[in-house]
């Protein structure tokens, strides 16, 4: 399978200042999060992959195409939802999306048909003939998504798609992104400084800090691992027999204060086995939690400096 993105020592300098520094990674997931604080280089990386910024050194490939020499082909395969608005305010929504689809290579009639379809898909069918300048912030974000998907891209770049949205509009945008991801007919890269957006939409995450790669992880693997890591609150387990019985099942255990126990389950062991052992030992399991916030843990660790401070 062709990797979605390949970075080979990629460096980008703007105004003589290094923005991206020796990025090296191969990204092949269905939905990839590009995470980092503001100013980390996320938007610069997306613009470089689209051919808008030239690499100072190294190389980058999108769907196997070198961005230095085949940028036009790359842009035909990619849908791009930019962070900042780039509308013609007096133009109707559907006319704007049609124009963008034509620029992506569709013939006029097909571009118009796709523009209508995209507007209905993002929930803006009733306002598609209104001027873009009259749209609310949430409607403008949805219109940006419509123009990004209208030409049927193979890869979708979403740059801060929930930026400035109120809670209901944010929920709708996340649902749309999840629907697009779950269709399975394209890859997407979601760039955000919001952990929650990435965690809800992505299977893999690349974390940038000061223009460098601070961490890369597979969230699906992390989630599967977390299902094996439990935190129990118990009553009646103070004599150690319950822990010994769990260890005989192959569990790793650590006892904390006030009946709290951390347990790592071996592969193949079901939760009902823990409850069966608890019943045998006359122990009450009052609460059971899976390990959570793994992405937050990974992000905070990636942001730490050499002295351990953020």
pLDDT tens digits for range 254-295: 888 888 898 988 888 888 899 999 999 999 998 888 765 568
Q: Which helix (H) or strand (E) holds 3?
A: none
Residue 136 three-state SS: coil
- pLDDT score for 108: 95
- Integer-rounded Cα Rg, in Å, for the chain is 24
User: Would you place residue 236 in the very low, low, confident or very high pLDDT band (cuts 50, 70, 90)?
Assistant: confident
- Residue 224 pLDDT: 66
Overall domain count for the chain: 2
Residue 308: what pLDDT?
47
| Residue-wise pLDDT tens digits, 109-126 | 999 999 999 999 999 999
- Most distant CA pair in the chain, distance: 77
For 122-149, what is the mean pLDDT? Answer: 95
Beta bridge partners of 188: 31, 156
Handedness of CA 135, 141, 147, 152 (dihedral sign): negative
Answer yes or no: is 295 within a domain: no
Owner of token pair 């940038």: 208
For the chain, the average pLDDT equals: 90
Q: Are residues 219 and 236 in the same domain?
A: no
Q: What is the pLDDT at residue 265? A: 85
Query: Which residue in 180, 102, 109, 97 sits closest to 139, CA to CA?
Result: 97
The Cα 56–Cα 12 span in angstroms is 5
Nearest-angstrom CA–CA distance, 288 and 234 = 9
Residues 233 and 213 in one domain: no
For residues 67 and 198, state if they share a domain: yes
The predicted structure's pLDDT at residue 266: 87
Q: Please tell me whether residues 193 and 271 are part of one structural domain.
A: no
What sign has the CA pseudo-torsion 293, 294, 300, 306?
A: positive
Whether 232 and 185 share a structural domain: no
Find the mean pLDDT for residues 123-143: 95
Q: Which residue range(s) make up the domain with 168?
A: 5-223
Give the mean model confidence (pLDDT) for residues 125-154: 96
Q: pLDDT (tens digit, 9 = 90+) per residue, 169-225?
A: 999 999 999 999 999 899 999 999 889 999 899 999 999 999 999 998 888 777 666
Query: Is residue 285 classed as helix, strand or coil in its secondary structure?
Result: strand
Mean pLDDT score, 16-24? 94
Same domain, 90 and 166: yes
Q: Are residues 113 and 242 in the same domain?
A: no
Determine, yes or no, domain membership for 17: yes
108 and 252 in a single domain? The answer is no
- Tell me what the mean pLDDT of segment 239-261 comes to: 87
Asked if residue 44 is part of any domain, the answer here is: yes
The residues pairing with 70 across neighbouring beta strands, listed in sequence order, are: none
Structure confidence at residue 307 as a pLDDT band (50, 70, 90): very low
Quick: pLDDT tens for 61-75: 999 999 999 999 999
> pLDDT category, 81, cuts 50, 70, 90?
very high
Give me the percent of the chain exceeding a pLDDT of 70.
95
Overall size of the chain counted in residues: 310
Domain boundary (169, 199, 223) is at: 223
Report if residue 300 sits inside a domain.
Answer: no
Residue 59 falls within a domain, yes or no?
A: yes
Q: Give the pLDDT confidence of 88-101 residue by residue, as tens digits.
A: 999 999 999 999 99
What per-residue confidence (pLDDT) applies to 291? 66
């Amino acid at each position: 399978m062709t990797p979605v993105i390949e970075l080979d020592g990629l460096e980008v300098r703007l105004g003589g200042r290094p923005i991206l520094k020796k990025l090296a990674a191969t990204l092949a997931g269905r939905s990839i999060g590009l995470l980092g604080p503001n100013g980390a280089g996320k938007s610069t990386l997306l613009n470089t992959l689209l051919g808008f910024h030239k690499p100072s050194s190294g190389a980058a490939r999108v769907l196997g195409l070198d961005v230095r020499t085949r940028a036009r082909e790359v842009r035909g395969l990619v849908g791009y939802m930019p962070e900042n608005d780039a509308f013609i305010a007096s133009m109707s929504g559907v006319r704007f999306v049609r124009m963008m689809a034509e620029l992506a290579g569709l013939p006029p009639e097909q571009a118009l048909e796709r523009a209508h379809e995209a507007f209905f898909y993002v929930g803006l069918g009733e306002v598609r003939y209104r001027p873009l300048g009259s749209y609310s912030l949430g409607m403008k974000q949805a219109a940006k998504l419509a123009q990004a998907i209208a030409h049927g891209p193979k890869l979708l770049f979403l740059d801060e798609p929930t930026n400035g949205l109120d809670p209901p509009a944010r929920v709708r945008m996340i649902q749309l992104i999840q629907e697009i991801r779950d269709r399975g007919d394209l890859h997407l890269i979601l760039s955000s400084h919001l952990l929650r957006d990435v965690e809800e939409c992505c299977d893999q995450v690349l974390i940038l800090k000061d223009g460098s790669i601070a961490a890369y992880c597979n969230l699906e693997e992390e989630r599967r691992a977390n299902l094996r890591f439990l935190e129990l609150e118990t009553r009646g387990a103070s004599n150690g027999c319950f822990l010994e019985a769990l260890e005989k099942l192959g569990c790793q255990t650590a006892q904390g204060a006030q009946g709290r126990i951390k347990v790592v389950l071996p592969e193949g062991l079901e939760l009902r086995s823990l409850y069966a052992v608890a019943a045998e030992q006359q122990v009450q399991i009052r609460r059971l939690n899976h390990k959570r916030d793994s992405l937050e843990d990974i992000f905070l660790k990636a942001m730490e400096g050499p002295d351990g401070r953020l």
